[in-house]
Amino acid sequence: MVMFTLRRFLQLIPVFFGATLLVYFLVFATPGDPIAALSGGKPMAPAVEAALRAQYNLDQPFWVQYGLYLKNLVTLNLGQTFSGQEVSAVIARAYPVTARLAIMALAFEAIFGVFFGVIAGLRKGKLFDSTVLVASLIVIAVPTFVLGFVLQLVVGVQLGWARPTVSGAAPWNELILPALVLGLVSLAYVIRLTRASISENMNADYVRTATAKGLSRRRVVVVHILRNSLIPVVTFLGADLGALMGGAIVTEGIFNVPGVGNLLYQAILKGESATVVAVVSLLVIVFVVANLVVDLLYAWLDPRIRYV
Amino acid sequence: MRFSRTSKALGVAAVVAMALTACSGGTGGNNATTGDTTKVITANNTEPQNGLLPANTNEVGGGKVMDLIFTGLVSYDAKGKIVNELADSIETKDSQNYTIKIKSGETFSDGTPVTAKNFVDAWNFGAAAVNKQLNSYFFESIKGYDAVSAEGSTLTTMEGLKVVDDNTFTVELAQPESDFQLRLGYTAFYPLPESAYKDPAAFGQNPVGNGPYKLAADGWKHDVSIALVPNDKYNGPRKAKNGGVTFTIFSSPDAAYTSVQSDTLDVLDQVPPSGLQNFKTDFKDRFVNQPYAGNATMTIPSYLPEFQGEAGMMRRQAISMAIDRQQIIDKIFYGNKKIAKDFTSPVLDGYSDSIPGNDVLTFNAAKAKDLWTKANAISPWPADKVFTITSNIDGAGNKEYITAMANQIATNLGIKAELNPVSSFKEMRALVNKKALTGASRAGWQADYPSLYNFLGPLYGTGAGSNDGNYSSAAFDSKLSEGLAATSVEAGNKLFNQSQEILLKDLPVVPLWYQAVQGVWSNNVNTVEFGWNGVPLYYDITAK
Spatial separation of the C-alpha atoms in residues B90 and A96, rounded to whole Å? 53
Most A CBs within 10 Å, among B130, B222, B394, to test the A interface: B222
What count of other Cβ atoms lies within 10 Å of the Cβ of residue B175? 11
A102-126 pLDDT, tens per residue? 999 999 999 999 999 999 998 888 9
Q: How confident is the model at residue A308 (pLDDT cuts 50, 70, 90)?
A: low
Packing angle of the helix pair B398-413, B309-322 (nearest 10 deg):
110
Strand, coil or helix: what is B168? strand
**Residues of chain A with C-beta less than 8 angstroms from the C-beta of B264:** 163-165, 167
pLDDT classification of A12: cutoffs 50, 70, 90: confident
DSSP, collapsed to helix, strand or coil, labels residue B443 as strand
How many other CB atoms are there within 10 angstroms of residue A7's CB atom?
A: 10
Mean pLDDT to the nearest integer, A25-35: 82
More confident residue, B346 or A38: B346
For residues A191 and A59, the model is more confident at: A191
Nearest chain B residue (CA) to A53? B132
In our burial notation (b when 16+ CB lie closer than 10 A, e otherwise), range B335-354 reads bbbbbbbbbbbbbbbbbbee
Report the chain A residue with the minimal C-alpha distance to residue B53: A83
**pLDDT at residue A247, rounded to an integer:** 66
* A42:B2 CB<8 A: yes
Cite the DSSP H helix spans in B26-111.
31-34, 60-69
A148-202 pLDDT, tens digit per residue, is 999 999 988 888 888 888 887 778 888 999 999 999 989 999 999 999 999 888 8
What mean pLDDT, rounded, does chain A reach?
86
pLDDT at A293: 86
Q: Looking at beta carbons, which residues of chain A come within 8 Å of B221?
A: 168
Q: Out of A30, A41, A266, name the one closest to residue B2 (CB).
A: A41
Q: Do the strands B87-92 and B97-102 form a parallel or antiparallel pair, or are they unpaired? A: antiparallel
Tell how far CA A192 is from the center of its chain.
20
Query: Cα separation of A189 and B217, whole Å?
Result: 47
In 3D space, the residue among B536, B542, B478 whose CA is nearest the CA of residue B247 turns out to be B536
Nearest to B263 by CA among B25, B41, B503, B477: B41
B134 and A94 within 8 Å at the Cβ level: the answer is: no
Is residue B544 packed enough to be buried (19+ CB in 10 Å), middle (13-18) or exposed (0-12)?
exposed
Question: What kind and span of H or E run contains B298?
Answer: strand B287-299
Q: At what angle do helices A273-301 and A2-29 cross, to 10 degrees?
A: 150
Q: Compute and round to an integer the Cα radius of gyration of chain A.
A: 24
Identify the three-state secondary structure at position B12.
Answer: coil
Q: Residue B426 is nearest to which of A34, A94, A168, comparing CB atoms?
A: A34
Work out the minimum CA distance from A139 to partner chain B, whole angstroms.
Answer: 23
User: Residue B56: what residue type?
Assistant: N
**H-only helix segments in chain A:** 2-29, 34-39, 46-55, 62-74, 87-122, 127-141, 144-151, 176-201, 205-212, 217-219, 227-246, 249-255, 260-270, 273-301
Distances (CA, A) of B39 to A304, B229, B244, B540: 65, 11, 7, 12
For residue A37, give the nearest of B48, B255, B425 by CB distance: B425
- Which uninterrupted H or E stretch holds B189? none
How far does A146 lie from chain B, in Å, by closest CA?
13
- Which of B43, B506, B502 lies closest to B250 in space, CA to CA? B43
Report the distance separating Cα A78 and Cα A82, nearest Å.
13
B387: closest CA among B373, B405, B400? B405
Q: Give the pLDDT score at B488.
A: 82
Partner-chain contact B137 A31, CB within 8 Å: no
| pLDDT in single tens digits along all 544 residues of chain B | 444 443 333 333 333 333 333 333 333 444 445 678 889 999 999 888 888 999 998 888 899 999 999 999 999 988 888 999 999 999 999 889 999 999 999 999 999 999 999 999 999 999 998 998 988 989 999 999 999 988 888 899 999 999 999 999 999 999 999 889 899 999 999 999 999 999 998 999 999 999 999 999 989 988 889 999 999 999 999 999 999 999 999 988 889 999 999 999 999 998 988 888 899 999 999 999 999 999 999 999 999 999 999 999 999 999 999 999 999 999 988 888 999 999 999 999 899 999 999 999 999 999 999 999 999 999 999 988 999 999 988 766 789 999 999 999 999 999 999 999 998 888 888 888 888 899 999 998 989 899 999 999 989 999 888 898 999 999 999 999 999 988 888 899 999 999 999 999 999 999 999 999 999 999 999 999 999 999 999 999 999 8
Sequence-distant (6+) residues with CB within 8 A of B411 are: none
pLDDT given for residue B340 in this prediction: 95
Q: 10 Å Cβ neighbour count for A133? A: 15
- From chain B residues 406-465, the ones with a CB under 8 A of any chain A CB are 422-430, 432-433, 443, 458, 464-465
Q: Which residues pair with B99 in a beta bridge?
A: B91, B170
**A191 within 8 A of A162, measured Cβ to Cβ:** no
Cβ–Cβ gap B424/A37 under 8 Å: yes
Q: Which CB contacts under 8 angstroms, 24+ apart, belong to B494-499?
A: B494/B350, B496/B350, B496/B452, B496/B453, B496/B456, B497/B342, B497/B350, B497/B352, B497/B355, B497/B452, B499/B456
Looking at the partner chain, which of A252, A253, A269 has a beta carbon nearest the beta carbon of B424?
A269
Return the pLDDT at A290. 85
Of chain A, the percentage scoring pLDDT greater than 90 comes to 21
CA distance B398 to B402: 6
Check residue B396 and give its pLDDT.
Answer: 63
B268: part of which helix (H) or strand (E)? strand B267-268
The pLDDT, as a whole number, for residue A203 is 85
Burial per residue of B220-257, b for 16 or more beta-carbon CB atoms within 10 angstroms, e otherwise: bebbbbbbbbbbeebbbebebbbbbbbbbbbbbbbbbb
CB contact under 8 A, B134 and A84: no
